[in-house]
Structure 1
Amino acid sequence: MRMHNADETCGIAGAAVVLGDWWNVLVLREIARGHVRFDALAAEIGLSRNVLTERLGRLVAHGVLRRSLYQRRPVRYEYVLTDAGRALLPLLVAMQDWGDRWILGDGSLTATADTDSAEHARVHALTDTRLPEDLQLPGTQGADVPVVSPDAAATVLFTYPGTGVDWNEEIRGVHGCTLENRLFRDAWPAFRRAGVDIRGISTQLPNEQAEFARAEDIPYPLLSDAHHQLDAALRLPTFRGAGRLRHKRLILIIDAERAVRHALFPVDDIPHAVAESLRLAEGCARGA
C-alpha cells in the first residue's frame, strides 16, 4: 500500500500501511490467540500458503512480528509479536468492541450480553480450546502471574468491569464487581480444599487492584489486562465505560492442561454463578 504524500505526517495513514488489509488484521488476530505456526495460521484463516507467506513477510518487515526458529530440519519458524506488535493489541480489541456493538449488535452500550448474541456464541465456543502457553498478566505486586495456575488441578478465571468505579452512565450489567469478589473471597477455602485456584481479572491498573485487594482482604491474585493481552488471546467481550475498555463479566473453568472446560456467560445472578463455578471446578479437579 502506498502512502499519499499528504499523509506522511499522519499516524493513522502510517498504521494503515502496516495493517494493509483485512488479511493482515486477521493474521495478527490469530497470532494473538496463540496460533503462531504457519500451518495453524493457514488453517484458522483459510488463506492460501502463497498469500500467507507474503503477508507474514510484510509484517516481519514492518517490525510487528519476528520469526523464532523452532525446528531445524526442515527449517520451521514461529511468528511472535514484537513490542510494536503487542502495542497493536488494544487496537484489535477496540475494533472487536466496535464490531460487536455496531455491526453484530444493535448499537446499545451494555456490560452483559443476550444469549442469542455473537458475544455469547464466541465465549461458549471457548470450551475445549486451550489458552496460549506462558500467558501471564501483571499482578498487584507488579510481577507477572500465570493466568492459569501451574500448581492447581483447575483454575477459575473470572473477568469483571472494575471495582471502585464511579459509573456515571446507566450501563446494564455493570454493577456487582465488589460483591463478586467478596463472594469468591468467602468461598476461597472451599475452592482450595478442592485443589482449585482463582484469578480475578479486569482492565484496571495493578495499583488500583492492589488498593482494592488490601481493603477487601482478597486472598487470590487480581491480574491486570490493561494492555488487553487476555482480551485479544480469547476474543473476550468488552464495553467502553468510565474512560476505558472493560471486560464484560464472565467465568471460565480451566483444567490443568490449560483447556477451557466450562464457560459461564452472561453472568446475571452473581451468587448463583459463584456457587456454580465452585461446583464445576470441583468436578474438573476430580477428573484431573
Structure 2
Amino acid sequence: MRRVEFIDADCGIEQALGVLTDWWTFLVVRDVAGGVTRFEALQRTLGVSRRALTERLSALVEHGVLRRVAYSEHPPRYDYLLTPKGEGLLPVLVALQDWGTRHVLGDGSLTASARPASAEHHRVHALVGRQVLAEISGWTVLYFFPGAFAPGAPDYPPGWADIPGAPGCTLESMTYAARAADFAAAGAEIKGVSTQRPDQLAAFATHAGLPFPLICDVDGRLAAGLRLPTFRVAGVDRFKRVTLLADPTATIRAVQFPVTDPAASVTEMLDQVRALVT
C-alpha cells in the first residue's frame, strides 16, 4: 500500500491521515467496530481484494489501531479487534456518518428524525438479524433517545424544541416506566440508551423513578458499532429516536424507526414483544 509523506509534523489531521490512508481503511475500522472481525467475513462484506485487505489490516495492526487474537492454530486464523487507540476513532466514525447523512445524502437540515424512505430508514431496518454489542441476558427492548434532564440540571441545548424529533424523551421514558410491568409479564426487560453523561442519566432516572437502567453510550460504541442515526447539537452527538428488540442471543428481531409518536411507540413495541416472545 502506497505511503503518503506529510509535511506538517505538528498537524494532527495530517498525522492521522498517515494512519488512515484511504477510504478502505476507514471501512475496515467501521466493520470491525460493528463486530465483523475475521478476514473472510471482512472481505465478503467489503468486496475488497485479499491483497488490499491484508495490507490494510497489517498497517492498522502496525499502528496499534487493531490487535490480532488467534482463534485457530492450524491453520493460523485471527480475530481483528479494536485497541483503545482504535476505539478512539469511534467518535470520528459517528461524526463522518452524521455529516454524510446530513450534508451528502440530505439537504443540510438539522433533524432528529428521518423520512420513511430515507437511507437512514433502510440502514436501521437492515439491522434485523444483527447482534447488539451490549450485555443482553434475555429479551430486551433498547430504546435510544436524544436526551432527557432532571429539573435543576443543565438546560436543554439552545433551540432543542425546534429540532424535529428531539422533544419527547421524558414522555417516552415515563411511558416505558408506566408499562414496565406489562413488558415484564410479556417476557422482556427495558433499557434506555443515550449519549448523555452517566451523572445526567442517573439524575434523570431518579427524578422519573425509572424501574429500569439507562445505558451511557458517550464513547460511541453502540452508535458506531450499529451505525445508528445521530445528530449533533451544541457539540454533542445524540441519538435519533430508535427502538430495537433483541432476543436472548442479542440478535435484533424488531426495529422501530423513525419514532414519531414517543408514547404510542411504547404500545406498539409491547405488541411486538407479545407477538415474538414465546
Provide the residue aligned with 1:254 in structure 2. 246
User: Structure 1 residue 192 and structure 2 residue 184: aligned?
Assistant: yes
User: Structure 1 residue 158 and structure 2 residue 143: aligned?
Assistant: yes
Range moving further from structure 2, 120-129 or 222-231: 120-129
Provide the residue aligned with 1:236 in structure 2. 228
Provide the residue aligned with 1:143 in structure 2. none
Q: Give the letter aligned to residue 4 of structure 1.
A: F
Provide the residue aligned with 1:16 in structure 2. 17
SS state of the match for residue 58, structure 1?
helix
- Structure 1 gaps of 5+ residues are 136-145
Range moving further from structure 2, 26-35 or 158-167: 158-167
Q: Give the letter aligned to residue 255 of structure 1.
A: D
Q: Give the letter aligned to residue 163 of structure 1.
A: A
For 1:114-153, what aligned pairs fall within 5 Å after superposition? 114-132=115-133, 135=134, 146=135, 148=136, 150=137, 152=138
Give the Å deviation of 1:167.
Answer: 3.5
Give the Å deviation of 1:85.
Answer: 0.1
Give the Å deviation of 1:284.
Answer: 2.0
Q: Give the letter aligned to residue 176 of structure 2.
A: F
Q: Give the letter aligned to residue 113 of structure 1.
A: A
TM-score between the two structures when normalised by the length of structure 2 = 0.94
The separation in 2 between residues aligned to 1:277 and 1:75, in whole angstroms, is: 45
**Which of 211, 226, 249 is residue 219 of structure 1 equivalent to?**
211
Give the Å deviation of 1:234.
Answer: 0.6
Provide the residue aligned with 2:5 in structure 1. 3
| Aligned-CA RMSD value | 1.0
- Structure 2 gaps of 5+ residues are 150-154
The separation in 2 between residues aligned to 1:264 and 1:105, in whole angstroms, is: 21
Check the 8 A contact 2:169/2:262 in 1, yes or no. no
SS state of the match for residue 181, structure 1?
helix
TM-score between the two structures when normalised by the length of structure 1 = 0.91
Give the Å deviation of 1:87.
Answer: 0.5
Q: Give the letter aligned to residue 31 of structure 2.
A: E
Give the Å deviation of 1:272.
Answer: 1.4
Provide the residue aligned with 1:71 in structure 2. 72
The separation in 2 between residues aligned to 1:280 and 1:117, in whole angstroms, is: 23
Give the Å deviation of 1:277.
Answer: 0.6
The separation in 2 between residues aligned to 1:167 and 1:173, in whole angstroms, is: 14
Could you give the per-residue CA deviations for residues 33-54 of structure 1, whole angstroms, max 9, x where no partner exists? Answer: 0000001100010011111001
Give the Å deviation of 1:4.
Answer: 2.7
Range moving further from structure 2, 58-67 or 238-247: 238-247
Identity of aligned residues (%): 46
Check the 8 A contact 2:6/2:15 in 1, yes or no. no
